[in-house]
Structure 1
Amino acid sequence: MLAAFATLDFPLTDVQVFHTDRGSEFDNTRIDELLDVFDIKRSLSRKGNPYDNAVVESTNRLLRKELVYRNHYTTIEQLRHDLNDYVCWSDNRRLHSTLGYRSPKEFTEQGLVL
């Protein structure tokens, strides 16, 4: 897992959150130390709830398909800009079948829950 961090082509100081499930490969003191040194927040799935990780994996898949694979980024700033635009669009305008073809913002404003 530490080798994956070494392949990044941007500084670790640019990473804010590292999400993992609770698998034993992530229960690692060296990873914890690396995250602490670079002040990276760890996001974990709730114990016994594999759905947490499924949501993150689904979101990551959509990001790659709809944003990353369609563009070529030469700087982290370009990626951040497009990512912010994508998240704003996805939260406010994109209709989700799981939410009854509402945007997440509309779903939340209507006080609905899954």
Structure 2
Amino acid sequence: GRGICRILRQNGLSSAYSGRGPGASRPAAPPDAANVLGRGFDGHRPRTHVAADLTYVRAGSRWCYVCLLVDLYNREIVDCSCGRRKDASLVKAAFSNVEFPLTGIEVFHSDRGAEFCNAEIDAILTAFGIDRSVSRPGNPHDNAVVESTNHILKRELVAGRRFASEEELRAALFDWVNWYNNFRIHSTLGYMSPVEFREAGLILS
């Protein structure tokens, strides 16, 4: 993922998208944008089908937005980002440190929000040959895996806890993601952690 910033610079693209508040999302996908994934969450090879969603967490006196990228193969959070603005730069930041080649991703699924459906993210997907898939309007179940992961994050990281700053939240988030991937067992994965499941070479059916 190290070439993302260079590719975006070559295309003259910079972030120009801002959010309107917690939970609000401007629909930006064209009406004919397809739900390629079609709720086909299971049975994929590792690192070929990645889905994303945003959630929000209070940090200090303001909201922070968290973007999770989840590998549908094993529910592993392959990268994440957090920041004060709900925009394309937040999504780019999540993509920028993915530890495997983005050219291996076949499908990227998200909702229809402007932070995902814009020229900057289009440039990333085009550059790495990734097909876009979007949820249908008003159908959160079309992105159920990441919605579920966000609920886990809220329950296990955020509930009953106060973060003094964005920096404190970011540090806690990255610690939690490491624990989630390597140690947290998932009933969907036969009570293995995502990394254990991947290293065992198993496939969800």
Which residue is equivalent to 1:62?
A: 152
Instruction: Quote the Cα distance in structure 2 between the aligned partners of 1:3 and 1:47.
Output: 20
Equivalent runs, 1:64-79 vs 2, <5 Å: 64-79=154-169
Q: Quote how far apart the aligned CAs of 1:70 are.
A: 2.8
Instruction: Quote the Cα distance in structure 2 between the aligned partners of 1:70 and 1:94.
Output: 20
Instruction: Quote the Cα distance in structure 2 between the aligned partners of 1:80 and 1:12.
Output: 14
CA contact 2:182–2:195 (8 Å) conserved in 1: yes
CA contact 1:45–1:52 (8 Å) conserved in 2: no
Q: Match of 1:65, as an amino acid?
A: R
1:76-111 deviation line (CA, Å, top 9, x unaligned):
111111110110001001111110111100100011
Name the structure, 1 or 2, with higher relative contact order (CA <8 Å, separation 6+). 2
CA 1:13 to 1:100, structure 2 compared with 1: closer, same or farther past 3 Å?
closer
CA 1:53 to 1:45, structure 2 compared with 1: closer, same or farther past 3 Å?
farther
Which residue is equivalent to 2:128?
A: none
1:29-87 deviation line (CA, Å, top 9, x unaligned):
xx36xx66xx6x58x65567x76510111011111111112310111111111110110
Instruction: Quote the Cα distance in structure 1 between the aligned partners of 2:178 and 2:19.
Output: 32
SS at match of 1:71: coil
CA contact 1:45–1:53 (8 Å) conserved in 2: no
2:182 equivalent to 1:95: no
Instruction: Quote the Cα distance in structure 2 between the aligned partners of 1:113 and 1:80.
Output: 31
* Aligned positions, number: 102
- Of 122, 143, 159, the residue aligned with 1:53 is 143
CA 1:59 to 1:13, structure 2 compared with 1: closer, same or farther past 3 Å?
closer
> Greater helix percent: which structure?
1
Which residue is equivalent to 1:112?
A: 202
- Unpaired segments of 5 or more residues in structure 2? 1-17, 25-61, 65-82, 93-108, 123-131
Identical pairs, percent: 44
